[in-house]
Structure 1
Amino acid sequence: MSTFDQREDSFEKRFVHDEELQFRAEARRNKLLGLWAAEKLGKTSAEAQAYAETLVVAEVAADADERVVAQIKKDFEAAGVNQSEHQIRRTMDEMLTKAKAEIKAGE
């Protein structure tokens, strides 16, 4: 294997690793975001876990972020929770940062 082939293989492995970490971080973010939303919706602990899991499942969709935001916004509106889409997205970004930190820390 030439040096070029070794470098290419190394870059490919790094890319796969980075994509896997991003997927895990986004799934964890959705769970954290779901727990945050469930608290605002007044759900019990068991209901909150189930709600969060529905958002984790949404991560496999092509437009996952949009689906998650739309679902939370719809649920908030139905429950009379006053939370803007901007706030939901800002919290989503904060939860992604937290999720990445947790994954790096090995949690």
Structure 2
Amino acid sequence: MNSFEKRQEGFEKKFALDEEHKFKAFARRNKLLGLWVAEKLGITGDAASAYAKEVVTADFEQPGDDDVLQKVMRDLTAKGVALTEQQVRAQMDMLLADAVAQVKAGT
């Protein structure tokens, strides 16, 4: 294997690792969002954990964050919790920063 092939292989491995970390960070963010929304909905304990899993699963419906946002907004509206999309998006952004830090730290 020549140096070009080694370098190419290194870039491919780094790309794969970066994508894995990105996936984990978004999944972690969605779990944290689910727990935050569960609290707003008055859901606690195992039910809150189950709700957080539903939020994580909702992310697989379509690309991007819209599927997650739509799910939590529907749930919040159904329970009469007055939060705007902008407030939820701001929380998602904040939680993503926390999730990235957690994934980098391996926690």
Q: TM-score, normalised by structure 1?
A: 0.94
Kept in 1, the 8 Å contact 2:29–2:92? The answer is yes
The two structures, once aligned, show a CA RMSD in angstroms of: 1.1
Measured in 2, the distance between the counterparts of 1:104 and 1:93 equals 17
Number of equivalenced pairs: 107
> 1:84 matched to which residue of 2?
84
> 2:67 matched to which residue of 1?
67
Q: Give yes or no for the alignment of 1:47 onto 2:69.
A: no
Gaps of at least 5 residues in structure 1 are none
The percent of aligned pairs where both chains have the same amino acid is: 48
Kept in 2, the 8 Å contact 1:26–1:59? The answer is no
Gaps of at least 5 residues in structure 2 are none
Supply the AA of the counterpart residue of 1:47.
A
Q: TM-score, normalised by structure 2?
A: 0.94
Measured in 2, the distance between the counterparts of 1:6 and 1:44 equals 51
Measured in 2, the distance between the counterparts of 1:29 and 1:76 equals 18
> 1:33 matched to which residue of 2?
33
Q: How far does the alpha carbon of each residue in 1:59-96 deviate from its partner, in whole angstroms, 9 at most, with x for none?
A: 33332511100000011111110101011111111111
Kept in 2, the 8 Å contact 1:55–1:68? The answer is yes
